[in-house]
């Protein structure tokens, strides 16, 4: 499986997602500022991957520190965390990853600086492994919801490249295929950044899962023609009421799915669920550079002087969502209650729908 | 106003729409085969423009002829018409333009070869002028339907560049703006060929009409945010029951408009209405090259080995259409009856909703 990100002695190593699908190039970020840049510039993207990347960025920043005391190190930690937190506003996993590292740091007040550095690296690596395990459990929980055969539409990339491995939405598809289901994936190309054509098609093709790329505006026609049996997407943040912030265009797909009575599934790790945010209106939506829309592959496709909108995400109200697939189980309407119930489970009680793979 | 196409002594001159918006280059097709290539390669596109282009192609082909008799010329005419008819299957205006030239030819059986050549050139030029006049009347008929202020979404390019001038959907917007309405256009970029960003934004920007380009998948979010008060698009063929074939993605926009209770208007000249085709299922949909999806600006964005869909058009069932704006008036549901009524009008009875500009 592709290594989306990994901790190495030299720093955090990423496959450069801006160069796919034609070039498979890896870059290593040797300090936390480079890690922040990698998030901001979308060398690494996808909410779960961003969360673990941020944790590794914290571990890397602390490892570089020449602080001599816990207090001195905490001041540096604050600076590191603030820098990483300022990269992208929507994916809640970023803040979750940073917060978890802060909490670990707070537990280490009596440890030596060397021990703290080692413990934070270990924590980030544990989060890395837990992310892959969560994807695999999500896959098992979601595979049963997939059709036994037919087209499944996905938007953006919620795959191995959006996580530490296996994927959320694509993890569900992978698990369904592994269970013998005959799924043909329809991948929205996902303008402006083309995560669907560049990333989803690339990783599914490597796995031998049949995939057709469509431009985003073809989704309606494909549904009208009966080619789509289900939709499954990832999420960047899910509010307490089940509203889903995900890649721009997700809401358009959700409306189309409703019109064609096609189930619309969201797959995301528990770290994407933000019970502190009541609903989608309270989720901050990142606006990215106009140039992502006006230029494609470096070539200008829009004349100078016109306005551009480039929200990176939109919000799909929970009434369009058939189910939310997490590693803790599958939430259904009414989502507020369903998510609250899951929140009350503690780790030892977690019961995946199917035993671990 | 931009000259999308024009008859010149050297042949049919086009603005090369594949080079916009960064280069304003004109090409002249000196024979009918070059005209056919210009249609096929989308140097000229847009149903009304294609119809008149085909007529000019016929006139050009006949002008080149060395036939010595009417019978000999008819054989060449058949070859010319077949070549032009084989370029693109969906826009019915292509066949309409060719058929009208055939009918004119049939009226000229007692004329000299020289007279026939002159008469066919005159016929094509008359169709050119009639197309602009139809757009202007459509504009008047549709302007009253536009909001007095607010966002109007359009898809693809149904503008001056899709017609001999002024445009269909953009003609309606132009007439509304000329009538003092404060319209801000939202232009879907319209993958894969980017007619929205490359062409619609270019021509509206030249006219000083405020325009924002969005990627196609943002349309839902813009509607959800209350930014869109109406949708107006063109058409490539309208069946007898009011089903509308138009650029791929139009159906997706229509579903979104319905979900948000936003009126969805179609503007097209009468030559786009095909009463011989009962409904949208009978409209042939052109499949174009996969490369339009896999490559953008010459750069590969999709890995080798995955499937591609590239239907150039989709069909919007008439139940999604609020009204069809033509130069003969505005058709509304039930469309079959409304269009039949308009068909019964003869040219002398035509009553635009507002007096000619």
Do B58 and B33 touch, CB atoms closer than 8 A? Answer: no
Rounded distance between C-alpha atoms, residue A19 and residue A25, angstroms: 7
Pairing outcome for strands B244-247 and B237-239: antiparallel
pLDDT digits (tens, 9 = 90+) for B210-244: 999 999 999 999 999 999 999 999 999 999 999 99
Query: Which of B31, B111, B105 is CA-nearest to residue B65?
Result: B31
Optimal mutation site among A15, A18, A159, A217, interface B, most CBs of chain B within 10 A = A217
pLDDT digits (tens, 9 = 90+) for A1-56: 799 999 999 999 999 999 999 999 999 999 999 999 999 999 999 999 999 999 99
Optimal mutation site among A186, A204, A302, A313, interface B, most CBs of chain B within 10 A = A302
Look up residue A73 and give its two tokens. Answer: 């190190």
Judged by CB atoms closer than 8 Å, whether chains meet at A301 and B297 is answered as yes
What pTM, to 2 d.p., does this model score?
0.95
Q: Is the link from the previous residue into B311 a cis peptide, with omega within 30 of 0?
A: no
pLDDT band (50, 70, 90) for residue B346: low
Look up residue A140 and give its two tokens. Answer: 């098992």
pLDDT digits (tens, 9 = 90+) for B160-200: 999 999 999 999 999 999 999 999 999 999 999 999 999 99
Query: Which of B114, B86, B85, B87 is CA-nearest to residue B101?
Result: B85
pLDDT digits (tens, 9 = 90+) for A280-305: 999 999 999 999 999 998 899 999 99
How far, in Å, are A83, A158, A309, B300 from residue A199 at the CA level? 27, 9, 23, 13
Judged by CB atoms closer than 8 Å, whether chains meet at B201 and A302 is answered as yes
Rounded distance between C-alpha atoms, residue A145 and residue A149, angstroms: 11
So what's the pLDDT on residue A278?
98
Active site residues of A: 236
Do A262 and A318 touch, CB atoms closer than 8 A? Answer: no
B243 is catalytic: no
Chain B: give the shortest CA distance to residue A202, in Å.
6
Has residue B350 got a pLDDT over 50?
no
Judged by CB atoms closer than 8 Å, whether chains meet at B301 and A189 is answered as yes
Look up residue A143 and give its two tokens. Answer: 């595979």
Residue holding tokens 């008469």? B119
ipTM for the whole predicted complex goes beyond 0.90 = yes
> Is any Cβ of chain A less than 8 angstroms from the Cβ of B125?
no
| A258 CB neighbour count, 10 Å cutoff | 17
Judged by CB atoms closer than 8 Å, whether chains meet at A194 and B258 is answered as no
So what's the pLDDT on residue A357?
34
Judged by CB atoms closer than 8 Å, whether chains meet at B293 and A189 is answered as yes
Report angle CA A301, A305, A310 to the nearest 5 degrees.
65
Chain A: give the shortest CA distance to residue B192, in Å.
7
- Establish how many alpha carbons lie within 13 A of residue B231's alpha carbon, considering only the half-sphere containing its beta carbon: 30
pLDDT digits (tens, 9 = 90+) for B104-135: 999 999 999 999 999 999 999 999 999 999 99
Judged by CB atoms closer than 8 Å, whether chains meet at B217 and A217 is answered as yes
How far, in Å, are A91, A146, A347 from residue A134 at the CA level? 17, 18, 12
So what's the pLDDT on residue A176?
98
Rounded distance between C-alpha atoms, residue B126 and residue A280, angstroms: 56
pLDDT digits (tens, 9 = 90+) for B25-59: 999 999 999 999 999 999 999 999 999 999 999 99
With a CB-CB cutoff of 8 Å, which residues 167-226 of chain A face chain B?
A: 187-192, 194, 197-198, 201-202, 204-205, 210-222, 224
Do B335 and B265 touch, CB atoms closer than 8 A? Answer: no
3-state DSSP helix/strand/coil % of chain B, to nearest 5: 45, 20, 35
Optimal mutation site among B24, B303, B304, interface A, most CBs of chain A within 10 A = B303
* B286, burial (CB in 10 Å: exposed 0-12, middle 13-18, buried 19+): middle
Residue holding tokens 């024979």? B31
Do A317 and A280 touch, CB atoms closer than 8 A? Answer: yes
């Amino acid at each position: 499986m592709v290594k989306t990100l990994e901790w190495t002695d030299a720093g955090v190593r990423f496959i450069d997602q801006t160069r796919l699908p034609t070039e498979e190039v890896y870059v290593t970020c040797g300090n936390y500022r480079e890690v922040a840049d990698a998030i901001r510039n979308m060398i690494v993207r996808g909410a779960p991957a961003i969360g673990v990347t941020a944790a590794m960025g914290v571990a890397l920043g602390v490892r570089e520190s020449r602080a001599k005391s816990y207090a001195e190190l905490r001041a540096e930690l604050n600076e590191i965390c603030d820098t990483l937190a300022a990269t992208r506003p929507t994916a809640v996993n970023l803040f979750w990853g940073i917060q978890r590292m802060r909490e670990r740091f707070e537990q280490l007040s009596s440890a030596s600086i060397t021990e703290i550095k080692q413990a934070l690296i270990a924590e980030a690596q544990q989060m890395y492994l837990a992310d892959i395990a969560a994807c695999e459990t999500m896959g098992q929980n979601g595979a049963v919801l997939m059709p036994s055969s037919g087209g499944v539409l996905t938007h953006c990339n919620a795959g191995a490249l959006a996580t530490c491995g296996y994927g959320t939405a694509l993890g569900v598809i992978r698990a369904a295929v592994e269970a013998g289901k005959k799924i043909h994936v329809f991948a929205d190309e996902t303008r402006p950044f083309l995560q669907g054509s560049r990333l989803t098609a690339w990783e599914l093709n490597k796995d031998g899962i049949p995939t057709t790329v469509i431009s985003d505006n073809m989704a309606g026609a494909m549904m009208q023609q009966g080619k789509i049996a289900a939709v499954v997407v990832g999420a960047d943040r899910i509010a307490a009421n089940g509203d889903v912030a995900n890649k721009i265009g997700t809401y358009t797909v959700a409306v189309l799915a409703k019109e064609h009575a096609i189930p619309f599934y969201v797959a995301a790790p528990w770290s994407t669920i933000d019970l502190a945010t009541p609903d989608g209106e309270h989720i901050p939506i990142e606006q990215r550079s106009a140039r992502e829309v006006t230029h494609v592959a470096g070539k200008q496709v829009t004349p100078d002087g016109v306005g551009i909108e480039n929200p990176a995400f939109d919000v799909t109200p929970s009434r369009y969502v058939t189910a939310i697939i997490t590693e803790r189980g599958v939430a259904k309407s009414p989502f507020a209650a369903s998510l609250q119930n899951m929140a009350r489970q503690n780790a030892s009680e977690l019961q995946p729908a199917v035993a671990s793979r």
